[in-house]
């Protein structure tokens, strides 16, 4: 497996640089804080979602990425949440954009983050409700893989995410 950032698009962004001056009083910030009025600068995280789309045959639907980072690697359908978007709706949207299938989002599997990385990744379990898998604009290829015979996956948390999906499936009696 490739050792790349935890989320598909994190390589495209740098960590935000701390503010140098207080937006309230204009004084210099020290370690992101203003000693005069108590203002503190906080960088905003970037929220991403992905869906482990499973079927009754214990397979997962994966996409082969057509953009960096990890271009050409297999991954779960995933992407960033738009401002004001509901997480589950963003997850379902990403699946449609990358695989041309509509899914029902069944459960939150967990959240993953890494120190120094602005991306917080939330993974969901889901299943197809309409459509036939075909590559969308962000995928070279879309394919079903047996959950016990997945290809090498693109990102560093992927093995943990698959384990969470397996635990969820077992708890649901699948």
Query: Which residues are catalytically annotated?
Result: 141
| Half-sphere exposure of residue 73: CA atoms within 13 angstroms, side-chain side | 19
Cα–Cα distances (Å) from 43 to 26, 49, 109, in that order, read 18, 19, 26
CA distance 126 to 159: 17
CA distance 37 to 54: 52
């Amino acid at each position: 497996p490739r050792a790349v950032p935890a989320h598909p698009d994190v390589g495209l962004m740098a960590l935000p640089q701390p503010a140098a001056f207080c937006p309230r009083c204009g004084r210099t910030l020290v370690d992101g804080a203003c000693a005069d009025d108590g203002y503190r600068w906080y960088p905003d995280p970037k929220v991403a979602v992905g869906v482990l789309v499973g079927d009754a045959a214990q397979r997962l639907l994966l996409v082969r990425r057509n953009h960096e980072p990890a271009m050409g690697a297999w991954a779960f359908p995933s992407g960033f949440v738009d401002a004001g978007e509901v997480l589950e709706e963003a997850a379902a949207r990403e699946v449609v954009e990358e695989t041309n299938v509509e899914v029902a989002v069944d459960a939150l599997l967990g959240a993953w983050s890494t120190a120094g990385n602005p991306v917080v990744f939330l993974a969901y379990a889901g299943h197809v409700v309409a459509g036939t898998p075909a590559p969308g604009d962000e995928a070279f290829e879309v394919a079903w893989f047996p959950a016990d015979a997945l290809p090498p996956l693109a990102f560093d948390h992927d093995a943990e995410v698959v384990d969470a999906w397996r635990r969820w499936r077992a708890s649901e009696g699948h």
